Amino acid sequence: MQITATGLGKRFQRDWIFRGLTRVFRPGSATAVLGPNGAGKSTLLNTFSGQLLPTEGTLTYSLSGQSLAVEDVPRHLAYAAPYLELLEELTLLELLRFHTQFKPLRPGVSPDKLIELMYLEKARQQLVREFSSGMKQRLKLALALYADTPLLLLDEPTTNLDAAGVAWYQEHVQATRTGRTLLLSSNVPAEYGFCDEQLLVTDFQGLRLK
């Protein structure tokens, strides 16, 4: 998916979070969205996902050369973030079967295959609410990475992951990013080291006048 931001700005009440962002995000690119805590990284990702409306400027989306309305973006988007919740009353297998009805996995990956890729075979029939925080994060990431979508948004992807989890993320993000447009918010070099582009949110705060 190609995304074009033109003069993009977002304000909450009287505070501008970012302003004057003009940039094109192309299929196959991976952009690290960087900045300190509270800089506006999640706000930027949520604006790109169509969940938040920009205060000024425009975002346009296109898929294989055809323009896409913002209301159609969620269908083509996979999003993993610490603040997005899982259906914890389901077992792992139930959750995967339910979730993938709405957000299909890439061809060749079934719910059973995904369980194998996550190394969560022993938890197949376990309630997700009983998972450790690292297991939940691995599940959120796997659902996004292996979703069959051209747009992938990852907010702080290694939250709650141990060293083995971080290595798992690095392997699987590489295995699934080809051809997709990836934006990844982070403060941790191990998460975004592979990204070919960087966007420093604080570069778009010079016009943050009240």
Chain positions contacting ligand ATP, by CB under 6 A: 12, 17, 35, 37-43, 185
Closer Cβ to ligand ATP, 12 or 119, answer by number: 12
Report the C-alpha gap between 121 and 172 in whole angstroms.
17
Closer Cβ to ligand ATP, 39 or 80, answer by number: 39
- 208 CB burial (10 A radius; 0-12, 13-18, 19+): middle
Q: Could you tell me if residue 32 is left (phi over 0), alpha (psi between -120 and 50 degrees) or otherwise beta?
A: beta
Strands 56-63 and 30-34: unpaired
Closer Cβ to ligand ATP, 18 or 146, answer by number: 18
Closer Cβ to ligand ATP, 41 or 136, answer by number: 41
Q: Nearest approach, Cβ of 25 to ligand ATP (angstroms)?
A: 18
CA angle 186, 192, 194 (to 5 degrees): 170
Q: Nearest approach, Cβ of 3 to ligand ATP (angstroms)?
A: 18
Q: Nearest approach, Cβ of 52 to ligand ATP (angstroms)?
A: 8
Q: Nearest approach, Cβ of 205 to ligand ATP (angstroms)?
A: 10
